[in-house]
Structure 1
Amino acid sequence: MSSPNKHKPTTSAQAPIDERDIGAMEALWAFFSSMKTAIVLLLFLAAASVLGTLLEDRKGVTLYGSSFYKTLLALVGINLTVCSLNRFKLVWRQVFGPVVVTDRQHIAGMAGSVSLTTPGQVDSVSERIAKALRSRRYKVTSAGVGSDIAIHAVRGRAGFWGPHVTHLSLLVIFASAIYGHFLGTDGYAPILETERTTGYYRRGQDKLTPLGFEVELRNFTIEFDGNHNPTGYKSDVRIHQDGREVHSKVVDVNHPLTWQGISFYQSDYGLNGLSVVITGLSGKSKRLSFTVVEENTPQGRRYVIKEMGLTEVELDGRKLHLLVHNLVPDYVGGEALNRSLLPLNPAVEVMINDRWPQYKGLDAWQRLGWMTEGKSARFKGYNVTIERLIFYSGLQVARNPGLPGVYTGFALMILGILLSFYVTHKTIRVHLTPAPEGVSVALGTTQTGNPDAPDRDIQHLVDSLSPQTAESQEGMHS
């Protein structure tokens, strides 16, 4: 006796559960291969990039190095990889293992399809068609189906790879950028004029990272136009290794110095100090150094003399006190006094007192006025000169091992675009069937670009299969 449940039908609710019962990996793969996922991720990436730019410009907040942005980039990369792999097998089969045999109904639905009857035998007509197609640079494959023959001809197969080469280029650029980010160098090296450094500071770190060689700043210069507007900031940089100079270059914003894969770009500059020389009646002189420090204000960077610039010096048996203060970065004189916050023509106000500390009042100080680099002033036989201003140059230190990969990715992108838009992929299918009047021929074509454009190759085949051409070629074979 059969069980009452033996022939119990499956409910409609059970079948969908079985159909959706796929593994987690399959579901994840399907998610990342979805076009909707790609669009959503690209929209999120575009929005995050715009937001990151606004935050960096207005708030000084860097979004591009955050875990959120890196995760978003990783998801876009996974999506591109999965989509490319999904399509790769299909394209490989289309290019290297096309389906040759097809029916006449399929050919009739192709663009520019033509049906005609030509005299001759199936084999001879097949040879004529193959020869005509090869003369127009088609790769021809044929297969017999009983008494019929199917022909598959393709030209411009490289066009199939255009979108995939473009996808590959994005992946190469993406992977190279990640490689360069984690294994590259990104830092800052401030160097005083005439001095050297053996390392640099990584971003966000205060510890000096060794370079493996010495970098010297021979001098820093600012170039001006006729209106005294700055046009260039240049650092004369020398590389020293094993006790000798091995490389040199004048570095500016767009012309870095590169040594051992590390590039130094002009990034910043500023005033770090000045030296004053006092010469006495006897001809003896003393050099005084003053340190300049930077202060960030709402109006911009401000330069001040450290510790008020008060210094005592004894020369020719007399004690002098020198006060160097009120530094202005872009001295123009007159009532305007200063033109900008950039240290384009720094000047300091200099005062001297030879009666300190007995007389400290303002009347005991002799004001020498505003003095720029190279300017001198006299005081009771003494000569006071602003000998030199000491600038520093801030060099961006960068090494990106992923840069060759990025260049390769851009080259692949150009190649993919050229293949996609300038290489026309065309497929012609032919089906030959014996007929009482000769051979029944069905022709059809598909192509990228404008599929509705008149097809000269099909017309060429039709002309080669016309009765006059066929009789002429049959006569030649006989």
Structure 2
Amino acid sequence: MNDVKCVCGHVNPQGTILCEACGRALTEEAKKENLHDMRYEGSARRSQTYNKTLVDKIWNFFSSVKVGVWLIVITLIASALGTILPQVMYIPPNADPAEYYSSQYGAFGTIYYNLGFHDLYSSWWYLLLIASIGVSLVICSLDRVIPLHRALKNQRVDRHEGFLKRQRLFRRYEGDVSPEDIETFKKRLKQKKYKIREQDGSILAEKGRFSRWGPYVNHIGLIIFLIGGMLRFVPGMYVDEEVWLREGEKKTIPGTNNEYVLESKKNTVEFYDKEKDKEVYSEALERVGSVVKEFQSDVVLYKRDKEQAVGSEEKLIKVKDAKIRVNEPLKFDNFAVYQVNFKQDEFQTMTFSLIDKKTETEHGEVTIDLFDPKTSYDLKNGYKVELLGYYPDFSGFAKNGEPQTNSPVPNNPAFLFNMISPEKPDGEVSFTAIRQTVEPLGETEYKMAFKGIGTRNATGLTVRKDLTLWVLAVGGTIFMIGVIQGSYWNHRRIWLQHKQGQLLIAGHTNKNWHSLRREITGMVEGTSIPEPIDQSQKEKNGKESRNHDAESGRTKQ
């Protein structure tokens, strides 16, 4: 692209609206404007200059503020749609997502699943939207901050009259101004913390330029924050898993790459006593009954030998004993294990007796470990019980008659037994649940009678690891710095040119014009330097007058 040479001799990049040196208008549109648009100092932006190659078109697309806003709106709408139905991590762990959404929510659930909204926040297209917002922020910032920095850095003290008279605050004064008044004016500028530059009878006073970079500091903070959010999808950077641990049980801690194992020694829960605590909590205890005072899990942390097989417990190295309470997590190797839930007297075993219905004779007992059931139990003397099906959290029968379970946790155990006896060597099938027995293949001669249940306490723990927090904190801090920088300061400039018997005074700020005008009024008070006029009011009044004249002309016609 060809550069544009101004009358003053300065060579400007193609697309520049105002000369970077003297401020003359270089385009016909700028020459017709009553007031200059000083948002980017009239500098050339790449998106308004180049539009030939594919790179140019991509740059121009993402440099548009409208595109950035629409990307944010689309992302917000998509995020809202992801909250209509539960995400896949909140449905029963053993359920097939396709069947679950269809059976629970009908046709809407099927559409919801097929569109990928069931796992929205991990989907490729949602991450692509987040990445697009980041790209838009980067390109928008570069497209504006580079030419703005160049224009502000290269601005001269002596500006063309056409530049000054198109500033919002401007005044021309025909007459002499004494050197003493100029010195008084400069002294007052310094008292207001203005940085003064002088050249051939012209003065440029400037302060608060750093505030112009506030929005771009915001963008940097947002970009870092988005990077931190996307890093959570990188394996090993973020873990937020829930694990249930029963007394005496050992489990590999999720997210630790099978390196750490946790053993529960004892799980205890303490309730508020209605007698001891009645003075403080009597009303609450009367209303809701028992209220938990404290959870505690006594655990042992082990580290697995790297060379041993996963699941093996032969070479577990004890790391430490710990007591986990609410807000007092177990911490190790960037992980924290929090106490979040408790289940008292959870079902552990169930015992049944094989009984002859006619004689009520008992032919042996079967004790089933609800977390590790066997497939068959030999009662000797020709009696045997086979476990054809186990449903830990029985929720009812499907339309095809198949029993269903909500979860692998034994909240409501049910069993499909095959009862083998000398009289019935092929066995008899019986479905047994709590307070429910069904004989799907006809009436049986034997039955499984409930004898008892074994329980134990279980603790609900949340395992967390977040290596992205410092990235999010840095991004948030930088963003707030940008907000403060752009909100509490503003860029102010005052030009004063005294040449050939006339004085020109002009002022510009990126916001808070009335404050700048009051500030200049205080500086020129008591001197022969005139107070500048707010030309935006003059322009507004002129437009209203022209509209009024036009309306009057139509009325006369």
TM over 0.5: yes
Contact 2:393 2:413 in 1 (8 A): no
Matched, 1:166 2:218: yes
Deviation at 1:256, TM superposition (A): 4.5
| Amino acid of the structure 2 residue aligned with 1:441 | L
Overall identity of the aligned pairs, in %: 19
Structure-2 residue corresponding to 1:451: 513
Q: Which digits, 9 at most, give the CA deviation of each residue in 1:33-59, with x for residues without a partner?
A: 012221221221111111111133675
Q: 1:39 to 1:165 in 2, by over 3 A?
A: same
TM-score (ref. length: structure 2): 0.55
Please give the secondary structure, in 1, of the residue aligned with 2:70: helix
Match of 1:273 among 330, 348, 357: 348
Matched, 1:429 2:495: yes
| Amino acid of the structure 2 residue aligned with 1:154 | E
Q: 1:405 to 1:262 in 2, by over 3 A?
A: same
Q: How does 1:13-412 map to 2 (within 5 A)?
A: 22-56=52-86, 61-93=118-150, 96-116=153-173, 117-121=175-179, 127-144=183-200, 149-183=201-235, 184-186=237-239, 187-200=241-254, 209-212=257-260, 214=262, 216=264, 218-221=266-269, 226=285, 227-228=288-289, 234-236=295-297, 238=299, 240=301, 243-244=317-318, 246=320, 248-252=322-326, 256-266=329-339, 270=343, 271-273=346-348, 291=370, 294-295=392-393, 297=395, 303-304=411-412, 389-412=455-478
Please give the secondary structure, in 1, of the residue aligned with 2:498: strand
Please give the secondary structure, in 1, of the residue aligned with 2:84: helix
Structure with the bigger percentage of strand:
1
Please give the secondary structure, in 2, of the residue aligned with 1:100: coil
Contact 1:272 1:291 in 2 (8 A): yes
Distance, in Å, in 2 between the alignment partners of 1:451 and 1:95 is 20
Contact 1:107 1:113 in 2 (8 A): yes
Distance, in Å, in 2 between the alignment partners of 1:185 and 1:125 is 66
Match of 2:504 among 442, 447, 453: 442
Please give the secondary structure, in 1, of the residue aligned with 2:232: helix
| Amino acid of the structure 2 residue aligned with 1:218 | K
| Amino acid of the structure 1 residue aligned with 2:78 | A
Distance, in Å, in 2 between the alignment partners of 1:396 and 1:390 is 20
Contact 2:228 2:471 in 1 (8 A): yes
| Amino acid of the structure 2 residue aligned with 1:432 | H
RMSD: 4.1
Deviation at 1:88, TM superposition (A): 1.8
Deviation at 1:198, TM superposition (A): 3.5
> Which structure has more RCO (C-alpha within 8 Å, separation ≥ 6)?
1
Please give the secondary structure, in 2, of the residue aligned with 1:303: coil
List runs of 5+ in structure 2 lacking aligned partners. 1-48, 88-104, 273-283, 304-316, 352-366, 372-390, 397-404, 418-431, 436-445, 530-557
Q: 1:169 to 1:232 in 2, by over 3 A?
A: farther
Q: 1:138 to 1:188 in 2, by over 3 A?
A: same
Contact 1:233 1:266 in 2 (8 A): no
Please give the secondary structure, in 1, of the residue aligned with 2:331: strand
Please give the secondary structure, in 2, of the residue aligned with 1:74: helix
Please give the secondary structure, in 2, of the residue aligned with 1:446: strand
